Amino acid sequence: MKTYRSLLVIVAALMVALSSVAQSEVSVRKRGERVKKKTEENAATQVTERMQSFYEQKEPHDADLAWMREIYRQIDLTQPDNAALYFPEDVIDGQENLFRLMLRLVINGEIPAYEYLDGREIFTDKYKINVRDMLDRFGIYYTEGKGSTEKNPKFVIEEADVPTTQVLNYYIIEKWEFDRRSNDMKMRVVAICPVLNRSSDFGGDARYPMFWVKFDALRPYLAQQYVFISDDNNLPQYSLDDYFNMEMYKGDIYKTKNLRNLSLVQMFPDPDDLKRAQDSIDNRLRNFDKNLWVPTREEFLAQKEKEAAAKEAAAKNDTVQIADRDAGVETVVVADVPAATEVKEEKKAEEPKARNKRSEKKKKTKAPKVSSKSGNPSAAKSVRRRKK
């Protein structure tokens, strides 16, 4: 009986051990499948989690900032400086423009997109867009992708159905921050929004902002897209990530974050006032850190020289070329020839006047002769001596 019980205990222990081993093998197999699947996805997108974390910028703490301003800027793709964001219109040798890249990543669920709230942008899960609703809203044709479900929808858009030629503008959010630790002004792009340009029902063109994409989520993919900036050099030396971080784009400020949530057009209806306000804000941002410090004596004298040269050029209508002293180039003033000849003629006209003054000084009035008949004997003697 005891032997039978011991055999039952041994068999039960073996069954428990075998089941635990089987469970561990199943868990290892599932983990391996997940890792393999994740590796395949990363290989397809060529963006790993480590690479994603490398491009994510941590927002500076408020205690480290002494000043910050949020700017909304509009990029016009019809301008030559912004052509790198528009071309190529079609996919050529794996190269695609910015909108094709953004739309592909959004519909594949690789990066999140957020609703356009017109100045009250909130990048939280609550305001993530529904991709299907977005495509239906803007009339972009699509088909259901393979393995698409309600929880994980997948969409396929043909290249001809991508409205890349209608995206002629981008809205970007910039943050200009002055860091008290480094005493330096830094600018970083926070988000990008493609804008569709379509004919409205009442004539003219209407703009339809589509969605916001956080720049940090987009950076790893932008770093893989290289573009050439100039037609003189067709070698693609800069990535789209460099293009934004180095501020190679040109755009106008259309809004600054304010309490009333008003755009600059609402604040300054007159076009001239609007242009002056945009230039004033831009100049203040770019010169903010320079205006915080008292200039040295050399900087002060250099600034005075620049101002004097500018005034002289304005008075003579001359062309003045003023270079930065930090670059080691001196100030060059180019004077017009007629102005120089006029100065010479004035000097020549002044010379005869100076000679006349000298001749007048040499001419002295002679003393009157005293008559010998004068009763003064000393006067008579002096007259005789001169005659002798």
**DSSP letters spanning 89-133:** SS-BTTB--HHHHHHHHHHTTSS--B---SS----SGGGBPPHHH
pLDDT confidence of residue 167: 96
pLDDT confidence of residue 265: 96
| Distance of alpha carbon 314 from alpha carbon 299, whole angstroms | 23
Please give the model's pTM, rounded to 2 decimal places: 0.67
| Distance of alpha carbon 324 from alpha carbon 338, whole angstroms | 29
DSSP letter at 166 equals: G
Average pLDDT on 207-225 reads 95
More confident residue, 270 or 14: 270
Question: Which element (helix H / strand E) includes 51?
Answer: helix 49-55
Q: Categorise residue 286: left if φ over 0, alpha if ψ from -120 to 50, beta otherwise.
A: alpha
SS3 253: strand
Average pLDDT on 332-337 reads 43
Residue with token string 């803007």: 138
Q: Taking the CB of residue 167, how many other CB atoms lie within 10 A of it?
A: 23
Given a cut of 70, whether residue 224 has pLDDT beyond it is: yes
Provide the sign of the torsion angle of the four alpha carbons 158, 161, 165, 170, taken in this order.
Answer: negative
* Residue 205, both tokens: 């063109």
More confident residue, 86 or 362: 86
Given a cut of 70, whether residue 268 has pLDDT beyond it is: yes
* Residue 240, both tokens: 């789209």
pLDDT confidence of residue 331: 42
More confident residue, 259 or 21: 259
* Residue 23, both tokens: 């469970």
Average pLDDT on 58-62 reads 75
Cβ distance 116 to 210 under 8 Å? yes
pLDDT confidence of residue 370: 47
More confident residue, 368 or 120: 120
Cβ distance 75 to 85 under 8 Å? yes
CA distances from 340 to 111, 311, 312 (A): 66, 17, 13
Tell me the pLDDT tens digit for each residue of 91-149: 988 889 999 999 999 999 999 999 998 878 899 999 999 999 999 999 999 999 888 88
The angle subtended at Cα 158 by Cα 155 and Cα 162, nearest 5°, is 95
- Would you place residue 60 in the very low, low, confident or very high pLDDT band (cuts 50, 70, 90)? confident
| Distance of alpha carbon 309 from alpha carbon 303, whole angstroms | 10
DSSP letter at 207 equals: E
pLDDT confidence of residue 330: 42
More confident residue, 132 or 22: 132
Average pLDDT on 220-224 reads 94
| Distance of alpha carbon 222 from alpha carbon 136, whole angstroms | 27
* Residue 146, both tokens: 């393979």
- Would you place residue 1 in the very low, low, confident or very high pLDDT band (cuts 50, 70, 90)? low
Question: Which element (helix H / strand E) includes 256?
Answer: strand 251-256
Q: Which of 254, 120, 239, 262 is nearest to 195 (CA)?
A: 254
| Mean pLDDT for the chain overall | 79
CA distances from 180 to 64, 293, 298, 342, 366 (A): 6, 13, 25, 55, 84
pLDDT confidence of residue 34: 59
Most confident of 14-23, 26-35, 271-280: 271-280
Given a cut of 50, whether residue 229 has pLDDT beyond it is: yes
Tell me the pLDDT tens digit for each residue of 134-176: 999 999 999 998 888 888 888 999 999 999 999 999 999 999 9
Given a cut of 80, whether residue 312 has pLDDT beyond it is: yes
Cβ distance 131 to 148 under 8 Å? no
SS3 320: strand
Beta-strand runs (E) in 157-241: 167-179, 184-199, 205-209, 213-214, 226-227, 238-239
Given a cut of 70, whether residue 4 has pLDDT beyond it is: no
Cβ within 8 Å of residue 213, ≥6 positions away: 102, 105, 106, 111, 112, 113, 114, 191, 192, 193
- Would you place residue 356 in the very low, low, confident or very high pLDDT band (cuts 50, 70, 90)? low
